[in-house]
Amino acid sequence: MDFTFNEDQLAFREAISRFLAAELPPEVLRKNWETEDGCSRELHRKMVEQGLTGLSVPEAQGGLEMDDTAWVLLTPLLGYYAIADSVVDTAYTATGLLSALPEGDHRREELLTGIAGGDVGVAVAHQVNPLVVDMDLADVVLVEFEGEIHALNQEAVSYECNTSIDSSRRLGRISVQPAPESRLLENGRDIWAETLNRGAVGVAGQALGLAQRMLDMSVEYASQRQQFGKPVGSFQAVKHHLADVAEKIEFAKPVLYRAAHALANNERGSDLYSSHAKLACCEAAWLAARHGIQVYGAMGYTWEADLQIFMKRAWALDSYWGDRAFHKSRVAEAVLADDALIGPQHTFEE
Amino acid sequence: MQLTYTAEQNNFRAEVRAWLKKNTPKKPLVSYDTREGFEQHREWECKLYDARLSMVIWPEHLGGRGCDLIEWLIFEEEYYAAGAPMRVNQNGQLLLGPTLMEFGTEEQKRRFLPRIASSEDMWAQGWSEPNAGSDMAAIRSRAVRDGDDFVINGQKTWSTRAIFADWIFGLFRSDPESKRHHGLSYLLVPLDTPGVTIRPIKALNGKEAFAEVFFDDVRVPAAENLVGEEGKGWQVAMATAGFERGLLLRSPARFQQTAKRLIELYKANPEVAERDPGLRDAVIEGWMGAQAYAQAAYHTVGLVNKGAKIGAEASINKVVWSELDLKLHETAMRILGARGELRGSAREAVDGGSWLEGFLFAQAGPIYAGTNEIQRNIVAERMLGLPRA
């Protein structure tokens, strides 16, 4: 029983953290966020060089074949630097789906190789998300159709673009007509169920990172901003707002780690743990936004303060890969079931 | 990350489960806030001690088993799942015990620790004074050095179950010129020493759950009864306060069991659930809170096993468990509705009034062991680095 990460995992996180800190100072981050497609092609190329896109691609397709417990250390970093959704959707969620397909399928191998090399972007259309994110950046879209898994080239899919309050997200209402040629797998229900959980855990990790970023920014602001001749962060009311955010973050972390472990090991409780993680991390992110803007005061309500980038991502991601109603219902279903394994003897044991 | 138990850990769990199944009293003990209940709970502690289960993390020569913290979590999970009695000597076992291990002389360890493990000695704590609550450094009770003795004068308050206890540990001002957290000494005082007067205070539940303790020229030998250095009591006490706030005092199992009982209560009352649809949310939030606390405990233990020290995180823990306990019991009271107010002695009380008793005790959680306001200040200043007031 060891609910911690090993030194290699932590060192990898540290390296990616240093890379993102160097590449994405706030002014660059803001510039990217305000561009038309919400991200920078040059940054994407550098992320490919760091091995990020090939992280969970099988070794046979040129990846590092790492599992969800490696990703769960990285998604908070991607959230911390407000990296656009297409990265996690392609390199984590879609890669997980494609890797789970039977080996030997040439389309599977072609796509995975493309993802590892940074040449292929994948959008995922799952019914839990009414709109598909970043269709315009994708080369291929994976579509759920009556339990089947289809892969369509982006040009073959017509979509109408909706804009989001989070400028890095463009949301497509797609209409597709899957055909036998686009089908990757006929019975893909189990893989889709796992993909939904992976999508939720990916968002949860980013939400946790967003919460940490907003907390760090709020602490810095409250330490500098003076009123009544003192930093506002010396006042107890302000301290308590930020202590509450720290509490939510610290207690969401292990829940997130638990969900990643369950996914990596195909545990029976995966639905429950990923829903719990999504709820806990997004709650931390929303509280960090609410208390963040309060601590910033009027500055927090401006376009000028960078806090808005993180708040808006936190608000938007709350409903991505399952809204609260969806995840709460799943938790309720699991813990209120007559054969639910709840209570102190079932923290880990199945 | 490796989330399975070893064969030894599973065997330990099975042993504890079997022992508790056989030995847990069928009928709940009388409340330990009464003389009769206090003695019943002391007997239960003796029974645990005889099975070397009272302090499993203590070394074998002190009556423990030298268990690591994972095994301690396992023990707690089984203990609360079995519905075994409340632990009556936590002051001694979780607060003073670890302090003596760190700061006590060899003689003090030999003399006190085994009797704490066995609960032959029951301990009360003497921190708070009428004018030193959250501001503990405002302590005024004095201990003046007179030859080989300290002579103590002053008053302590909120000493849990002090009218039934044998000893008290506490902080006293030993340097009359000193201010705040300097010049304090950590002393052990037998409660039957001449000059000690204990006046019980009735708690919210109507029972004499705590007391004021008056010291009137109370004489204790310095060599035997001073813990740590004279005048360095603050540092000694802070170590103890950390243990109290931290993991050990309120293990997650306690709240996981409450959350489980709450789910059962909710399912047994579908007509209330229908009238108040918000209850479902409160019930699952309760489960998620308890589960998150349990996972956080395993995470923390993993880090401690790799050499990390628990710092301001202990303060977050205290805020979390105390507010979780409140939420769980508030939800239970909402489900019970008009039956919620019934005392345990009432004929129509649900579950022997245990939800009401828990609800009352939960009110104290955000206050004792350092109020949650103080804990949030600690988190903000020491963990986040916000400027001091």
- Read off the DSSP letter of residue A346: G
> Domains of chain A, with CATH numbers?
190-346 (1.20.140.10)
pLDDT at B246: 65
Beta-bridge partner residues of B68? none
Nearest CA in chain B to A346: B77
pLDDT of residue A140: 97
A270-296 helix and B278-305 helix, angle to the nearest 10 degrees: 90
Is B293's Cβ below 8 Å from some Cβ in A? yes
**Distance, in angstroms, between B260 CA and closest chain A CA?**
5
User: For residue A41, what pLDDT is reported?
Assistant: 83
**Taking every pair of C-alpha atoms in chain A, what is the biggest distance, in angstroms?**
71
Q: Residue A12: pLDDT above 90?
A: yes
- Residue-level pLDDT at A2: 94
Strands (E), chain A: 122-125, 132-133, 140-145, 148-153, 158-163, 170-175, 183-185, 226-227, 230-231
User: How far is Cα A74 from Cα A68, in angstroms, rounded to an integer?
Assistant: 10
Residues of B in contact with A253 (CB under 8 A): 296, 299
pLDDT at residue A350, as a whole number: 57
Q: For residues A230 and B190, what is the distance between their CA atoms, to the nearest angstrom?
A: 48
How far CA B235 is from CA of A290, B176, B230, B322, in Å, comes to 38, 18, 11, 25
User: What's the pLDDT score for residue B216?
Assistant: 98
Give pLDDT tens digits for A189-218. 999 999 999 999 999 999 999 999 999 999
Cβ of B298 within 8 Å of Cβ of A348? The answer is yes
Average pLDDT score over residue span A276-289? 98
Give the other-Cβ count within 10 Å of B50's Cβ.
12
Q: How far is CA A136 from the centre of its chain?
A: 19
Region A261-285: mean pLDDT is 97
Which residues of chain B make contact with A268, given a CB cutoff of 8 A? none
Go through the domains of chain B in sequence order and give each one's CATH number.
7-88 (no CATH), 123-231 (2.40.110.10), 246-383 (1.20.140.10)
Judge contact between A198 and A263, C-beta under 8 A.
yes
Nearest to B294 among A239, A340, A347 (CB): A347
Contact present, A142 and A135 (Cβ < 8 Å): no
Residue B356's Cβ-side half-sphere holds a number of Cα atoms within 13 Å equal to: 20
Decide if A239 and B288 are in contact by the 8 Å CB cutoff.
Answer: no
CA-nearest residue to B268 within chain A is: A336
- What pLDDT score was predicted for residue A33? 83
Asked if the C-beta of B71 comes within 8 angstroms of chain A's C-beta atoms, the answer is no
Q: What percent of chain A has pLDDT over 90?
A: 89
- State the smallest CA–CA distance between residue B252 and chain A in angstroms: 8
Cβ within 8 Å, pair A236-B266: no
Residue A45 confidence (pLDDT) above 70: yes
- B8 contacts: CB under 8 Å, gap ≥ 6: none
A254 → closest Cβ in B295, B306, B388: B295
ipTM over 0.90: yes
- B68/chain A closest Cα distance in angstroms: 12
Work out the pLDDT band at A236, boundaries 50, 70, 90: very high
Instruction: Indicate yes or no: CB of A236 within 8 angstroms of CB of B389.
Output: yes
Given pLDDT bands bounded at 50, 70 and 90, which one contains residue A230? very high
Contact check, Cβ <8 Å, A344/B291: no
Parallel, antiparallel or unpaired: strands B184-190 and B149-160: unpaired
Q: Once rounded to an integer, what is the mean pLDDT over residues A45-63? A: 94
* pLDDT averaged per 10 residues, chain B (length 389): 95 98 96 96 97 95 92 96 96 92 95 95 96 93 97 97 97 95 97 98 94 98 96 88 66 96 97 96 98 95 88 89 98 97 93 95 94 96 95
Quick: pLDDT tens for A70-126: 999 999 999 999 999 999 999 999 999 999 999 999 999 999 999 999 999 999 999
pLDDT at B244: 54
pLDDT at A36 over 90: no
